Amino acid sequence: MDRFQYLLVLGASALVTLPLEFAFDARVWRRPRRLARAVLPSFVVFVVWDIWATTHGTWDFSEQYTIGVELPGGLAIEELLFFLLIPVCTLLTLESARNILSGRVRWLRRDD
Amino acid sequence: MPPVYPTLAVVAAVAVLGLERWYFRSGIFRSRAYWLSMIIVFAFMVPVDGWLTKLSAPIVIYDDDHTSSHRVVWDILTEEFVYAFALLTLVVLCWDRAAQR
């Protein structure tokens, strides 16, 4: 089970934030094209940085806690999921905050 | 030479500030919802990034010749928060830009 640790951390992050999509009507997962356009630029920049940093030895990934699929330069494949899922968690939080602060969450309103 | 990771993290954060100032011009830094969500995300970053980088059983292992070696909370390197600010603010800027088209 140890080698699934990184995947489990990412899965837990996605799972914990999933209710925001519905409870506060965040509409992040349900706007896949907009989501792709939001995530793609940072995905490209940060994966390139990640490959560079792994190649140059700034950081490395535990063989014990990753599934062992490596990309060029020794990058753990989990990193690709990180740069997709953590942005989604953030956008779910942002859109929830927007809906709450602007009074768009019906069940939080006292009137009507 | 200053260590490479904190240097690049600051460069990335400044680059994102520059992108907002001269390219996106979204006014995101005047948004209450943005700051509220950043506070929440950074709070959750402590258990998540802490689990990934804790020195007792790290999933991501750093060469301290390349880092500040300054670990603020639960072994998380200070520059990780600067890195996260750059990454996540860029995502937010692109998300809002994508809505306009």
* ipTM of predicted assembly, 2 dp: 0.92
Number of domains making up chain B: 1
Residue A2 per-residue DSSP state? G
A57: phi > 0 → left, psi -120 to 50 → alpha, else beta; which?
Answer: left
A112 falls within a domain: no
Nearest CA in chain B to A28: B95
Is there a contact between B95 and A59 if contact means CB atoms under 8 Å apart? no
A68 falls within a domain: yes
Compute the distance between CA of residue A78 and CA of residue A67 in angstroms, rounded to an integer: 8
Structure confidence at residue A112 as a pLDDT band (50, 70, 90):
low
Claim: this prediction has a pTM higher than 0.90: yes
Asked whether the beta carbons of A25 and A103 are under 8 A apart, the reply is: no
Nearest CA in chain B to A93: B37
Q: Minimal CA–CA distance to B73: which of B89, B84, B65, B86? A: B84
Is there a contact between A34 and B5 if contact means CB atoms under 8 Å apart? no
Radius of gyration of chain B (CA): 15
B63-85 tens-digit pLDDT: 988 999 889 898 999 999 999 99
A11 falls within a domain: yes
A72-100 tens-digit pLDDT: 888 999 999 999 999 999 999 999 999 99
Is there a contact between A101 and B32 if contact means CB atoms under 8 Å apart? yes
A39-82 tens-digit pLDDT: 999 999 999 999 999 999 899 999 999 998 988 888 999 999 99
For the cut 80, the answer to whether the pLDDT of residue A110 exceeds it is no
Residue numbers of the domain that contains A84: 2-107
For the cut 80, the answer to whether the pLDDT of residue B101 exceeds it is no
Number of domains making up chain A: 1
Compute the distance between CA of residue A77 and CA of residue B66 in angstroms, rounded to an integer: 22
Is there a contact between A34 and B58 if contact means CB atoms under 8 Å apart? no
For the cut 80, the answer to whether the pLDDT of residue B29 exceeds it is yes
